[in-house]
Amino acid sequence: MVFQSHKIAKFFEPVGVGGDGAETAERETWAVVGRFLTSKLIKLEYMRQVLASVWQPVKGVTVSEIQPNLFLFVFYHITDMQHVLTKGPWSFENNSLVCRQVHDGVLPIDVALDSLDMWVQLHDLPMGYTSDAVLEQIGNFMETFVKCDDRFAGVPWRSFYRVRVSIPVSKPLKRRMRLVKRDKSTCWVTFKYERLHNFCFCCGLLGHSYKFCLKVRESPLTVAQYPYDAGMRAGGARGPRAVGESWLVPAVGQSRCEGAADSDEHVVTPPVAPADVRSSEEDVAVVVVTKRRREGSGVVGDGRVLRVML
């Protein structure tokens, strides 16, 4: 008896992929996969309507759910995808969308969705510590630096500076940083997050409020004593500005002249702020030094001190 051996192909290589260049360009798409930082059910039809109206892609977008709370956004122009990836973070019902591009040959479910790119404002930076090199190292102190804001390049000093940082969603947000200057004196640099959506005032994590935080249930602190608050959101509350206040008459009917005479009697003393609960990460100081180190040294740790190289 003669047995015939059959060869089994170990590799499969598709042929005819690409075809004519013009035809390929018409079919070319760019995919983005994303998930929302929430445990709530996301209504697909409502969500796709809201995001499409916000993004307004010039060639449209297709939105589909490939797993529970895992969505695929297919764009038909590269600028539409770039707008979504660079102008975020975006949200639906105040829940942040963590999204990344799906490159060719990669399954959408294999894309890591563990970090969120955000613009962070750096307040109270002293003069002489605002160079791009310092801003980059502050961004790396927060987590992973992406880029600086170059809209006002060349301005000697600004009220705040902006850096884009990739922030892991599994770690609490950082409120501020202690900067050690060249003369060994220190100052605090405060962080304010742009488009900061739902997050916990107690643990500092994205994706839930303090009302649904396990740490809150086990903590004796009151809401006023939590280490985080709404002040971490850049921009503050929206509303009409008091541009016409000097011409308005109070509701009681008292004229402006009558009210001005006794205005000093209605001084309100602000309440004393409760004791601040600082996280351990804020005890880390960033030290600015002028000596250059060899390439690859980066940010050097010295106990609890991070040294920023200029």
What is the model's pLDDT at position 241?
A: 67
> CA 160, 162, 195, 276: dihedral to nearest 10 degrees?
-50
Domain ranges of the chain: 26-113, 116-196
- CATH no., domain 116-196: 3.30.70
Do residues 111 and 33 touch, judged by C-beta distance below 8 A? yes
Q: What is the 3-state secondary structure (H, E, C) of 177-246?
A: EEEECCCCCEEEEEEEECCCCCECCCCCCECCCHHHCHHHHCCCCCHHHCCCCHHHECCCCCCCCCCCHH
Question: Which regions in the chain score pLDDT beneath 70?
Answer: 1-9, 11-12, 14-27, 236-245, 248, 251-310
Residue 57: what pLDDT?
Answer: 93
What homologous superfamily is domain 26-113 in, according to CATH? RRM (RNA recognition motif) domain (3.30.70.330)
Produce one character per residue of 158-177: b if its CB has 16 or more CB atoms within 10 Å, e if not. eebbbbbbebebeebbbbbb
Interatomic CA distance for residues 179 and 287, integer angstroms: 6
pLDDT at 247: 73
pLDDT of residue 229: 87
Q: What is the pLDDT of residues 152-171, one digit of tens each?
A: 777 777 889 999 999 999 99
Does the bond joining 89 to the residue before it have cis omega, within 30 degrees of 0? yes
Task: Tell me if domain 26-113 and domain 116-196 are identical in fold.
Answer: yes
Which SS3 state, helix, strand or coil, does residue 14 take? coil
